[in-house]
Amino acid sequence: MRSALCALGAAAALVLLPAGHARAEGQEPDRDFTIEDSRITESSGLAASRVHPGIYWTHNDQDAPLIYGIDSRTGKTVATLTMAGVGTPRDMEAIAVGPDGDLYVGDIGDNLDGSWDHVWIYRFPEPKTLKDQTVAAKQYVVKYADGARNAEALMVHPKTGRVYIASKNEDGGGLYAGPERLSSSGTNVFRRVDEVPWVTDGAFSPDGERLVLRGYFSAQEYTWKDGRLGGEGTAVGAPFQGQAESVTYTPDGSALMFGSEGRNSRVVRVERAGVEPPSKKPTEAPGGAPKSPSVTPAGGGENGNVTVGFLVLAGATVLVVGLKRLLRKG
């Protein structure tokens, strides 16, 4: 059944246009890439390395304690990390990098919407060398002040180090703040501090001034003020993806990287509106005149494909959610 769901999402994605987001693969870091590792079939979280330029950490939505380092230049796995000291994960859904240089992994999924009275966060230093290795991880017990729930988004503020979780509910979820410092010896109670839409992942900008939350069809970027969302948020041009599960900022904060589940899943870069990469300079045409970037105009046929693609994706997502519910009931 799981393979059928992946195939359904992939079929929907095939009819969708990149809508101007796509970049050439294998040329520069932090551009579009395809995850080539056949072991990664359910990439459910994404985090940009702070130690190794161009490397993105991800993991499967399953019970193996494995984290994969993917080179965005090639799409190839350059490191496989095995977490030791954390037991058997249940439903890993998110990954983030903290200001301390540690990787935080959220084993926070609960497809039965509250069947587990606690979930876990795993934490370990980002390795200095890229190779297959075992890493010693700390395990933190997490409970919600208002009862158990399903979640797929874990965010670590890049300045304060505070951990946040966004619960997942199609009618709207909650944003939960953890204690100022996580404790590995007791229970960490997360308290609801704000309301969020239907969320499958989220990430803080590197400067800590923005928070992006994505769902199956869209993404919103919010200002971050006094530990809460500022305003209603601004829509981000998220790409259409078969099973939209992950998002992170590039290390320089100039763009967002969107990922999805599925074999050979694609990670797509989307520029942030009004933000220029620090190293980006305008190209010049002969004679010194600035050269405008070339844009291929979309004709009527392309617009039609986008509309059809959106409808197919919408139908596919409804089927995916419906089938998952049936599986839970069964």
Which residues span the domain enclosing 152? Answer: 18-273
Q: Is residue 286 in some structural domain?
A: no
Contacts with 70 (C-beta within 8 Å, 6 or more apart), sequence order: 33, 35, 37, 40, 55, 56, 57, 58, 76, 77, 78
How many percent of the chain have pLDDT more than 70? 75
Encoded tokens for 159: 């300045």
CA–CA gap between residue 251 and residue 193 (Å, rounded): 27
Q: Is residue 290 in some structural domain?
A: no
Q: Is residue 317 in some structural domain?
A: no
State the average pLDDT for the chain.
82
How many percent of the chain have pLDDT more than 90? 69
The lowest-confidence range among 22-31, 88-97, 235-244, 270-279 is 22-31
Q: What is the mean pLDDT of residues 73-95?
A: 96
Is it the case that residue 134 has pLDDT exceeding 90? Answer: yes
Q: Which is it for strands 66-71 and 55-60: parallel, antiparallel or unpaired?
A: antiparallel
Encoded tokens for 181: 């410092």
pLDDT tens-digit series, residues 242-276:
889 999 999 999 999 999 999 999 999 999 987 76
**pLDDT band at residue 99 using 50, 70 and 90 as cut-offs:** very high
For residue 252, give the nearest of 165, 162, 163, 158 by alpha carbon: 158
CA–CA gap between residue 88 and residue 104 (Å, rounded): 16
pTM here is: 0.79
Q: Is residue 23 in some structural domain?
A: yes
Would you state the pLDDT for residue 111? 81
Q: Specify the higher pLDDT residue, 235 or 329.
A: 235
Is it the case that residue 50 has pLDDT exceeding 70? Answer: yes
Which CATH number fits the domain that encloses residue 53? 2.120.10.30
Q: What is the mean pLDDT of residues 216-224?
A: 95
Q: Is residue 160 in some structural domain?
A: yes
Name the amino acid, one letter, at 178.
G
The lowest-confidence range among 27-31, 129-133, 178-182 is 27-31
**pLDDT band at residue 231 using 50, 70 and 90 as cut-offs:** confident
The lowest-confidence range among 58-62, 78-82, 153-157 is 58-62
Total domains, the chain: 1
Q: Is residue 1 in some structural domain?
A: no
Q: What is the mean pLDDT of residues 27-37?
A: 94
Q: Is residue 330 in some structural domain?
A: no
Would you state the pLDDT for residue 219? 96
| CA dihedral (307, 235, 158, 139) positive or negative | negative
Q: How far apart are the first and last CA of the chain?
A: 13
**pLDDT band at residue 57 using 50, 70 and 90 as cut-offs:** very high
Q: Specify the higher pLDDT residue, 305 or 200.
A: 200
Q: Determine the 3-state secondary structure of 134 from DSSP.
A: strand
Q: Is residue 298 in some structural domain?
A: no
Would you state the pLDDT for residue 285? 39
Is it the case that residue 23 has pLDDT exceeding 90? Answer: no
Q: Determine the 3-state secondary structure of 314 from DSSP.
A: helix
**pLDDT band at residue 289 using 50, 70 and 90 as cut-offs:** very low
Would you state the pLDDT for residue 278? 60
